Amino acid sequence: MTPNDTCPVCRTADIVCAKWTMLVIRDLAAGRTRFCELERSLAGISPRTLSLRLRALEEEGIVTRQTYPEVPPRVDYSLTEKGLALLPMINAMRDYGDQWLCDGADIEVERDLAARTAA
């Protein structure tokens, strides 16, 4: 066992610091539940990457996947309690970005998203 294995910050970073992961969680909190909705909202993510991120988050117990026996098949994704517990971290990142990194236009877009995430 390495020291990083016992460090809660390192263990959390191992899960959430992969590219796109925090944005997937953010968008699931905002109510986007279908693969195509997530793909549309995350401009630039490849379908393969989105699939890998969702699978990894599901394996960590952060996201749950619900399949419906319909034609065509429908799959919804949602945050688990463990996933919802990450929202304060996302909100803190949003606040930091608002204060230190964004111009006025960026802040309005993020505030709109934050309002939907908090609901």
- What does pLDDT average to over the chain? 89
Closest to 78 measured CA to CA, from 27, 20, 5, 3: 27
* pLDDT recorded at residue 4: 76
Calculate the CA 6 to chain-centre distance. Answer: 24
Q: What is the pTM of this model?
A: 0.82
Band (pLDDT 50/70/90 cuts) for residue 104 is low
Q: What is the DSSP letter of 76?
A: E
Model pLDDT for residues 6-20, shown as the tens digit of each residue: 899 999 999 999 999
* pLDDT recorded at residue 98: 86
Model pLDDT for residues 72-91, shown as the tens digit of each residue: 889 999 999 999 999 999 99
CA 41/CA 97 separation, integer angstroms: 19
* pLDDT recorded at residue 102: 75
Question: Of the CATH numbers 3.40.1190.20, 1.10.760.10, 3.90.1640.30, 1.10.10.10, which one belongs to the domain with range 3-118?
Answer: 1.10.10.10
Please say if the pLDDT value at position 45 is more than 80: yes
Q: How far is CA 55 from CA 32, 42, 48, 89, 113, in A?
A: 16, 16, 11, 21, 24
Q: What is the DSSP letter of 34?
A: B
Residue ranges covered by each domain of the chain? 3-118
DSSP string, 85-100: TTHHHHHHHHHHHHHH
